Chains A and B, each alone.
Chain A
Amino acid sequence: MILGWEREVLKQAIENLGNHTIQGVWRIGFACRFFLAVLLHSGTAFRRFGLTIREMYFTGVLSLIIILVSGLFVGMVLGLQGYETLQRYGSESALGTLVALSLVRELGPVLAGLLFASRAGSAITAEIGLMKTTEQLSAMEMMAVDPLARVVAPRFWAGVISMPLLAALFSAMGILGGYLVGVRLIGVDEGTFWSQMQGSVDFTQDILNGVIKSVVFGLAVTTIALFEGYDAPPTAEGVSGATTRTVVTSSLVVLALDFVLTAFMFRGLN
């Protein structure tokens, strides 16, 4: 038998669940509308491409260090671990293939996406959130300049363009790392390393799919970062909460999207 207070607790729990779900669905709706509004206001970002290039410097160029260094280390670890596993089966000649495929198909786009979310995404949210808090966006509105077109859209396209380039650089550095460890340090045959890689990496199946993934991750992370900043309550707590949400949500979205995209892209492969 359910007692009075138990019924109350249960009722409260269900109400909370319902509330959170409704709030969540509303936010997804707002984010989608925001995404469409940014697309509609993208004219300025292309007409005055200088604005977009300037933002590419902040989102792309300034993320280079973390992307390149991480890529190198991930590749080096792949070289070590891959060699360790492959040599058990006498297949260490396939090290180049393993390193390259892991990077261009998965690790490049995914890890670059995660790093991009924490380096550039958080910066975008904090910047837009602070612009809102200090009334800079309102000031722009009052000057008859649409902040979506002037502030948001250039950052959006800068993120979307930068992300695949960063993922490509991540993969390239990773392959270099794998080469340094596998060939230079351990002594796998250099010719075999490169020729196996060249023979087994397919442009459409592997490289192009990796690029598609990184473009999708770029879209997702940049949209989330901009939306969170634009939607942040105009207080210190509001901006800090929005920055945290950007990193958490976009990391989860990158991983979830990666699964979905991989399922579609590689389902026919053996």
Chain B
Amino acid sequence: MQHDTLVEIENAVFGYGARPVLKGVNLTAKRGQVVAIMGSSGCGKTTLLRLIGGQIKASQGTVRVAGESPGELDRTGLYRLRRKMGMLFQFGALFTDMSAFDNVAFQLREHTDLPEDAIRDLVLMKLHAVGLRGAAHLMPAELSGGMARRVALARAIALEPMLVMYDEPFAGLDPISLGVTGNLIRRLTDTLGLTSLVVTHDVQESLKIVDYVYFVSEGVIMAEGTAAEIRASGLPYVHQFVHGESDGPVPFHYPARPYADDLGLGEGSA
């Protein structure tokens, strides 16, 4: 029986050394949904993706993907699970010594015994889906940032995964590429029946395409809800984030001693 929930994180705790990053996160992604994980830089969004991908293991709590715990699996089991996942890295992480075509064909050649003719057709179909069939022969250095991101997306869906994770897919894109990438994520999720987890801090673009949003702050889920609920949220942190206000619960100033003291104007200074 296929379970409705694909990704389930319960009370996950994780830290790099002594520094806690996640302090008990609960998150659920249902099949066919686009789920956004938002939060300011360094709040642990990417760490969540790494937990789901099995690159790191939660020190407490459970992480389940399609009923399996990535952190508990042995290498063979983890690799079996990863074949059903795709990941889009922040700047694409295309293999620079291969053309766009070979990048998309990479997993098909590594994991299947398909003849080269069939691989060619599949690769061209994936590249067509992201609008770059004509750029198949180009090397990554010849692609613009947005194009590289789309080739990486074609590569991520090459094996028709059940889950695609996007690490900051909108970072550094021009408005046109931004819209194209956002629409692609929505369209591919719907047509291929995937589940998409989008880590981003681009509120406006992602609220257009997502089904559900989680806000991460200081290692916990600060708020969650549908795009409409988030827009209407009265929580000061969410309000500051959605409206891009420079001061609020997240202060503009990094903690420091009083300004006057630093300038030597405070009490007791000579």
Q: Which residues in A have some Cβ–Cβ distance to B below 8 Å?
A: 130-131, 134-136, 138-146, 150
Q: Are B93 and A150 in contact (CB under 8 A)?
A: no
Interface segment out of the listed B6-14, B105-113, B228-236, B248-256: B105-113
CB contacts (< 8 Å) of B95 on chain A: these are 131, 136, 139-140
When C-beta atoms are compared, the residue in chain A nearest to B79 turns out to be A144
Q: Are A144 and B83 in contact (CB under 8 A)?
A: yes
When C-beta atoms are compared, the residue in chain B nearest to A143 turns out to be B107
CB contacts (< 8 Å) of B55 on chain A: these are 138, 141-142
CB contacts (< 8 Å) of B111 on chain A: these are 144-145
Nearest CB on A from B199, distance (A):
14
> How many residues of chain B have a CB within 8 Å of chain A?
20
Kindly state whether residue B80 has any CB partner on chain A within 8 Å: yes
Q: Are A134 and B93 in contact (CB under 8 A)?
A: yes
Interface segment out of the listed B16-24, B84-92, B259-267: B84-92
When C-beta atoms are compared, the residue in chain B nearest to A130 turns out to be B96
CB contacts (< 8 Å) of B85 on chain A: these are 142
**Quick one: which of B82, B83, B93, B106 has the most chain A CB within 10 A?**
B93
A130 to B140, CA, bound (A): 14
Nearest CB on B from A206, distance (A):
40
Q: Are B90 and A144 in contact (CB under 8 A)?
A: no
Nearest CB on A from B118, distance (A):
19
A55 to B55, CA, bound (A): 28
CB contacts (< 8 Å) of B90 on chain A: these are 135
When C-beta atoms are compared, the residue in chain B nearest to A134 turns out to be B93
Give me 29 A-to-B residue pairs in the complex whose CB atoms sit less than 8 angstroms apart, sorted by A's number.
A130-B96, A131-B95, A134-B93, A134-B96, A135-B90, A135-B91, A135-B93, A136-B93, A136-B94, A139-B87, A140-B95, A141-B82, A142-B53, A142-B55, A142-B82, A142-B85, A143-B82, A143-B106, A143-B110, A144-B78, A144-B80, A144-B82, A144-B83, A144-B111, A145-B107, A145-B110, A145-B111, A146-B79, A150-B110
Q: Which residues in B have some Cβ–Cβ distance to A below 8 Å?
A: 53, 55, 78-80, 82-83, 85, 87, 89-91, 93-96, 106-107, 110-111
CB contacts (< 8 Å) of A130 on chain B: these are 96
CB contacts (< 8 Å) of B89 on chain A: these are 135, 138-139
Q: Which 6 residue pairs of A and B lie closest in terms of their CB atoms, listed nearest first?
A: A135-B93, A144-B79, A139-B93, A144-B82, A142-B87, A135-B89
CB contacts (< 8 Å) of A139 on chain B: these are 87, 89, 93, 95
CB contacts (< 8 Å) of A138 on chain B: these are 55, 89, 93
Nearest CB on A from B91, distance (A):
7
Nearest CB on B from A37, distance (A):
12
A134 to B95, CA, bound (A): 9
CB contacts (< 8 Å) of A136 on chain B: these are 93-96
Chain A, interface SS category: helix
CB contacts (< 8 Å) of A131 on chain B: these are 95-96
A142 to B161, CA, bound (A): 12
A130 to B93, CA, bound (A): 11
Nearest CB on A from B185, distance (A):
17
Nearest CB on B from A128, distance (A):
12
Nearest CB on A from B194, distance (A):
15
CB contacts (< 8 Å) of A144 on chain B: these are 78-80, 82-83, 107, 110-111
CB contacts (< 8 Å) of B110 on chain A: these are 143-145, 150
A102 to B44, CA, bound (A): 61
When C-beta atoms are compared, the residue in chain A nearest to B152 turns out to be A139
Nearest CB on B from A126, distance (A):
12
Nearest CB on A from B68, distance (A):
14
A131 to B96, CA, bound (A): 8
CB contacts (< 8 Å) of A141 on chain B: these are 55, 82
A150 to B107, CA, bound (A): 12
Nearest CB on B from A158, distance (A):
14
When C-beta atoms are compared, the residue in chain B nearest to A127 turns out to be B97
When C-beta atoms are compared, the residue in chain A nearest to B53 turns out to be A142
A138 to B55, CA, bound (A): 9
CB contacts (< 8 Å) of B91 on chain A: these are 134-135
CB contacts (< 8 Å) of B96 on chain A: these are 130-131, 134, 136
Nearest CB on B from A52, distance (A):
15
A145 to B89, CA, bound (A): 16
CB contacts (< 8 Å) of B78 on chain A: these are 144
A130 to B94, CA, bound (A): 12
A142 to B87, CA, bound (A): 7
A136 to B87, CA, bound (A): 12
A145 to B80, CA, bound (A): 10
A144 to B55, CA, bound (A): 11
When C-beta atoms are compared, the residue in chain A nearest to B111 turns out to be A144
CB contacts (< 8 Å) of A150 on chain B: these are 110
A150 to B55, CA, bound (A): 18
**Quick one: which of A131, A141, A144 has the most chain B CB within 10 A?**
A144
CB contacts (< 8 Å) of A135 on chain B: these are 89-91, 93
Nearest CB on B from A230, distance (A):
16
Nearest CB on A from B19, distance (A):
18
Nearest CB on B from A157, distance (A):
18
